[in-house]
Every structure is written in structure tokens, then in C-alpha cells.
Chain A
Amino acid sequence: MTTKFTKDHEWVKMEGDDVAVVGITEYAQHALGDLVYIELPKLGATYSKGANFAVVESVKTAAEVYTPVTGEVIRVNDALESDFDLLKSDTDGWIAKFKITNAEELAALMDDAAYQDYLKTVD
């Protein structure tokens, strides 16, 4: 399945039928600038779609990261705590993996082309 995107600059892609992998886009990382801290969610915590599940802190600001899907956190990418550059990686830059309950939530998200169009409308 293809990667989907939110207006808050998160990306999500599916692993199998019910696991969603979530990270933040290159645009978000660039807007934040130099990262200094990342607050990761706890394993087993459940979040509703749109809930704040992580915080990425740069020198400039603290940015909340929202989950595009409802679900339980089944994996957390602890490696990010010591290597913020990892966020840039397509394969290893994910923040958390969620076991989702409603795959239809993904349908409303943007695909890559729509997200690229959306980026043209934001500063």
C-alpha cells in the first residue's frame, strides 16, 4: 500500500492488514530545523485519530505529532532518541507503529500527489 499524508505533515503506511507505521514528513523536519529532543509514546498506549502521541522539539519550537489513525502503540522507535537524523530515513525514520482498528480512516488521507499539491498552498 502507498504512503498517505496528513495536513499536519505526518506520513503513514500500512504493514500487513492492521499495522500502521507513522512518521513525520521531510517538510515538517525542515520547518522544525535542528532537533534536540523527541518525546516518544509509551508501548501499549491507545490513541484516537488526531490525538497527540509524540512531541518533536527543535531549538526553535516544540511540535506535537498527531496520529492519523486510531490504535494501540505496538512498537516505538527508541533509536530516534539518540539519532534524530534517522527521522529522514524512508525505512528507519518511523516514530511508532499502531495496531489499528479502523482501516477506513486511511481513505480520507492524502496520497503523495495530493500532499505535494497541498505543500504548494502552505508557506
Chain B
Amino acid sequence: MNKIKVAVIDYGIGNLLSVCKIFEFCGAKVSLTNKSNSIFDADRVVLPGVGAFADGMKELKARDLDSILLDLASRNTPLLGICLGMQMLLDESEEFGLTKGLGLIPGRVVPVPNVSTDGNPHKIPHIGWNELIPSESKSNWSGSVMQDIEKGETAYFVHSFMARTDNPDNRLADCNYGGIRIAATICRNNIIGCQFHPEKSGEVGLRIIKRFLN
């Protein structure tokens, strides 16, 4: 059987090594690329990313990757955005002024409040392991990329902004940070986003990646 082809989008931002490595570990043939032919040729496409929203969008546009990703979404190729890559799937972000995103999932990226619901300040960025729980619109994760994860298992987060989807149905999983519900996994048709880092979340991350490849 041929290996499943995964294109990891290289747009000149951050450290993409660990993302490539986990897909290779899961048996995929990985190409780190910004070329349209290898992106369209892939069975799965991954948009990783760390850093600021506006920088990320600028780098995508500089390589014409925004229109390539929109085209890709309409071809039904599964696309996984990780961290900033997830946030850029939305319509816009409030990080350093309002910046337009890819608009593949309706919603906005807003700051994680720096005060917990009990009124005490808490640390930003939200860094560390946190429990994955079904979002308010979901009772379970069957049939989704989260299918093999049990409620309450933990994943590794590092971020200061969070996604707010317009449609609650686009939200699969949340985590709870000081009483605030943060979108952990979002999904619309073939478009999936994880706020946490599956490539840094041990066995939980491996199960999510394997399900995404399946």
C-alpha cells in the first residue's frame, strides 16, 4: 500500500520539525512545502504555526497560500490547522487590531481573558496540559477526529488567543482555563483545527493524528 501523502505548509514561520516528525511516525509520507502542486497532490494538508496572527496571514499571502488553501478546502481534502494554523481558519482575529483570516470556519479569534471566572488574575499565555471536554453542543466525539479520545484526557496548550466560532456546532472540544471555556478542537466539513499541539500531546496527540490520517 502506498503511504498517505501529507503536505505540511511551510510559510516561513516557526519550527515545523516536530509536526513533520509525528506524521512520519504515524506512517505518512511528509512534504514540507509551499508549492501548489505538492499541496494539491497531497491526501492531507496541515497548516501549523506559532506566533502572531497578522504575521502568519502576511506570510501566507506573500506565498499565495491563502488562495491555494481556499481552493483546497473546496476540493474536500482534509485540512488540519494547529494552534495559529487553527486560528487562521477563522474569519478574523482581534490580535494587534483586526486582521482578516482565511474564513473557512465562521468566527473570530479573541484574547484569552486574563482574569478567571472567580475574579482572580491568571497567567497568559495559557501554557501546559489541560483536559479535553466535549463542547456545549456535543455529547460525544464519535465520527470525528477526536473519536479515539476519552473525555478528560489531556493535551498540551500554549496560546494567548482563542477561537470563538459563530456556529456552536463547529466546536467539537473545549478545555477549561480558570472557568473559561476555550475552543480546543473546531471542525467544519473537511476543515479541522486544534488549538492544542497534537505533536506535543504524547499518546493523545498520536491518536488524533492517526484518526486524521485514517
A binds B: no
The residues of B with any CB-CB pair to A shorter than 8 Å are: none
